Amino acid sequence: MGSRDWCPMERVLAIRIHRGTHEVGGTCIELAADGERIVLDAGMPMTPPRRCSDLLPDVPGLWAEGDGSLRGLFISHPHPDHYGLADLVDDDVPIFMGPRAQAVLRESSFFIPWAPAFPPALPLEHRVPVELGPFTVTPWRVDHGAEDCFALLVEAAGSRVLYSGDWRGHGPHPETVEEIVANVGRLDTLLVEGTRIEIGGDDHHISPTEAAVEQACVELIAAARRGVVAFASAQNFDRLDSLQRAAHAAGREFVLDLYAASLWIASGRPRDAIRVFATRPQRRRIYETEAFERTRAVRDLRIFPEEIAERPEELVLCLRTSAVHEIEDTGVLLDADVIWSMWEGYLQGESMASTRQVLRRNGARVSFIHTSGHATATDLEAFVRRVDAREVVPIHTRSPHICAGTFPGARLRTDGEWWDVAREPEGHACTA
């Protein structure tokens, strides 16, 4: 472990970031105190490492039977770059994650069987501390678009460390940031995400806030004369909420495909706010697995191609792009308004060539209406200034050096480096 420069014999909390000091995704942080350890996040990297053996960070006891000193794994939120390796974790290591996040991932794994299945986990709740050996871990709700997203406060050996997780200040719950700033108290170390700290700054094509996204959708749908089709992530619940409210404001019904509808219902959202369209691959999956209870459960909400063909101007369909060929047959895309509510570059990529072709030949008008799930550089800097932390370590960033120039008190670390959290020395008597 790193040297302890202020009091060599003192009990300390030590940290190492396995992945994330200079990349977005694959986050994994290990903390040690009193001979025991915990891990925050076991994420899948966005780009696979060059060597297969580099995929799993070198955390003793995380992927294989250990000596019992690893007390638990805490998942900050249900995105693969934070939980994607959790299915490989040894059965003896307890995993913690928000209950609604778990419910959504369970549903998701039925429709995406090749994606990593999330193992059974213990619940995390906003501001309910979990005590494990010398560690007290308290989740603080943050706004990141998905269900149960948390910043994690770790207290051990007299030190206090806050890991921000992924968050934003321009979503529907800015009060979550205010709650942390006002109540989290004095920190020794803040591990803060810096996803949008980039050379060249923020993307100009995205809306400033989630509220602006909703307003743009309200205006577009109100002005639309024929079908409206939206493409958005089924796990971006803030976005589905925005689209659903915008559809209803225009007096249209909001239609989700069976996959997104199952996640919507699992998240506890009202089933009577949606209609359900089961796409061909989704129906095939139901037949293959004989999971007919899934279609029975939404029987009263189902919408079929004939109805979509009859009244496209009374509907907003929110679907996967894989369904474009199928819905083209209903005529809903003809002269339609299309809301692309994801990263713009995704539509321009090679994998979307046939989607673009279908939209073009139907004369569909595509509008990009989107905002990021991550805090702007301005909000990140303001957060760091307002949180009372003695040391600030950027994580989940491609640009650590720009973070160092932006965040007051920033200290850059490297992947795999252990360091001791230097505690407030005030009032401390070192007897060593």
Q: How far is the CB of 191 from Zn ion (least distance, A)?
A: 13
Count of chain residues binding Zn ion (CB under 5 A): 2
Q: Which is nearer to Zn ion, 282 or 371 (CB)?
A: 371
Between 189 and 195, name the residue whose CB sits nearer to Zn ion: 195
Q: Residue 263's CB: how many other CB atoms inside 10 A?
A: 24
Q: In angstroms, give the least distance from the CB of 44 to Zn ion.
A: 10
Nearest-approach distance from CB 193 to Zn ion, in angstroms: 7
**Smallest gap from residue 22 Cβ to Zn ion (A):** 14
Q: Is 41 in the site for Zn ion (CB under 5 A)?
A: no
Pick the stretch among 81-89, 181-189, 291-299, 321-329 that binds Zn ion (CB under 5 A). Answer: 81-89
Q: Which of residues 166 and 420 has its CB atom nearest to Zn ion in the complex?
A: 166
Kindly indicate which of the ranges 31-39, 163-171, 287-295, 327-335 contains the residues binding Zn ion, using the contact rule CB under 5 A. Answer: 163-171
Residue 84 or 312: which CB sits closer to Zn ion? 84
166 near Zn ion (CB under 5 A): yes
> Nearer to Zn ion by C-beta: 81 or 107?
81
- Span near Zn ion by CB under 5 A; candidates 80-88, 172-180, 302-310, 414-422: 80-88
Stretch binding Zn ion (CB under 5 A), from 112-120, 161-169, 305-313, 376-384: 161-169
Query: Shortest distance, CB of residue 82 to Zn ion, whole angstroms?
Result: 5
Least distance between Zn ion and beta carbon 166 (Å): 4
**Piece in contact with Zn ion (CB under 5 A), picked from 76-84, 95-103, 121-129, 347-355:** 76-84
Q: Which of 23, 30, 41, 81 binds Zn ion (CB under 5 A)?
A: 81
Give the closest residue to 85 by CA, choosing from 19, 139, 33, 184: 19
* Closest approach of Zn ion to the CB of residue 150, in Å: 13
- Give the residue with the Cβ less far from Zn ion, 24 or 369: 24
- Closest to Zn ion by CB, 72 vs 373, is 373
Of 107 and 166, which has the nearer Cβ to Zn ion? Answer: 166
Supply the minimum distance, in Å, between the C-beta of residue 343 and Zn ion: 14
Residues that bind Zn ion (CB under 5 A): 81, 166
